Amino acid sequence: MNWYLLDWSQISAVAVPLGVFLVTFICGLMVRAVLFRRLTAWSEKTTSQLDDIIIGAIKTPFIIWALMLGLYLAVDVSHLPERPAGMIATALSVLGMASVVLVLSNIFGRSVAAYGEKMQTAMPVTSLTQSVGRILIIGVGALMILNRLGISITPILATLGVGGLAVALALQDTLANLFAGFYVSVARQIKVGDYIKLESGQEGYVTDINWRTTHIRMPTNNTILIPNAKLIQSIVTNYCMPSKDLVVTVEAGVHYKSDLEKVERVTCEVAQEVMKEVVGGVPAFEPVVRYHTFGDSQVGFTVAMKGREFSDQAGIKHEFIKRLHKRYAKEGIIIPYPIRAINTSQENPIFK
């Protein structure tokens, strides 16, 4: 049939729904442009990051919602049979629910990433906990969608229960790492940001705990990936528990003819300067000097200072040794070279 032989009713049956769809969609885009421009300007004036997260999460789905609204109104004004119209309406509602679930999942993930430091006291913030939170949101949304479609979830759960046994047997190592990751995250004995040392000797900052491995960034800026199951079986030294600050010790020694009272006073003065002036030092901490050894060539002692965290000790030691060496030279305090004296008079004359 040629197009010019079509009557007006046939043309309007297609043109009107199409026009309603296009007008609705274009209006939706215009509303989106104006709305988000104003929302963005408003969010820039606030100190909270939550409004930025929500705006960013719904900006792209808003286009999908405009398309859905246009399609819904187009179907509403069309003369489609009841069954196809009902199927389209059901599909649109399912798509709408799925988009809302994804938006909520994104908001949760971005909020955890943005407020991670503040949320550490309430929940552990790792890739594992973020993924679990998103999976829970998506799982609840999937159940709602299945219910909307009229699908009973009881048989599905029964099938998953039977199949879960086979999956558990096939993925023993994976599940062991997964549950070990849960344990590490919930126990809070090892957290993201902690400086730890493994019994095998590797050490560094914990940067993430995911479903399989724990990531440790070494001082050389390399990353160690250790399976979670092995981590909980290892002997681990956590330099951030019970607190991040730690005692920084430096071994030193002076000549036997030195005035030990003077040495102690001068050393404490230098250590106090370092505590107050070097980044990472704890100004309120009183340094301690303890003599402990009559060595071969010196009286040995230990100087105890305090750093805010593990990475600060290198800078504290570096600056303390420089300043102490300079101050000892000024005060006439001698740091002796290693000397070993041999008393030949005690030898047996036979060997002379």
Chain segment 306-325, per-residue pLDDT in tens? 999 888 999 999 999 999 99
Question: Rounded CA gap, 278 and 271, in Å?
Answer: 10
Q: Do the Cβ atoms of 300 and 292 come closer than 8 Å?
A: yes
- DSSP one-letter code for 337: P
Contacts of 2 (CB under 8 A, 6+ apart): none
Which regions of the chain are under pLDDT 50?
1, 3, 5-6, 122, 351-352
Residue 167 exposed, middle or buried by CB count within 10 Å (0-12, 13-18, 19+): exposed
**Structure-block tokens of residue 295:** 């060595």
Collapsing DSSP to helix, strand or coil, 299 comes out as strand
In this predicted structure, what is the pLDDT of residue 341? 62
Residue at token pair 């126990």: 187
Q: Does the predicted TM-score (pTM) go above 0.75? A: no
Question: Rounded CA gap, 315 and 320, in Å?
Answer: 8
Structurally, at CATH architecture level, domain 246-331 sits in: 2-Layer Sandwich (3.30)
CA 294, 300, 301, 302 torsion: positive or negative?
Answer: negative
In this predicted structure, what is the pLDDT of residue 177? 81
In this predicted structure, what is the pLDDT of residue 307? 93
Domain ranges in the chain are 7-148, 152-242, 246-331
Q: Which CATH number fits domain 152-242: 3.40.50.1370, 3.30.1490.190, 2.30.30.60, 3.30.1330.10?
A: 2.30.30.60
In this predicted structure, what is the pLDDT of residue 1? 46
Q: Do the Cβ atoms of 303 and 320 come closer than 8 Å?
A: yes
In this predicted structure, what is the pLDDT of residue 119? 53
**Structure-block tokens of residue 60:** 């792209």
**Structure-block tokens of residue 49:** 């990051």
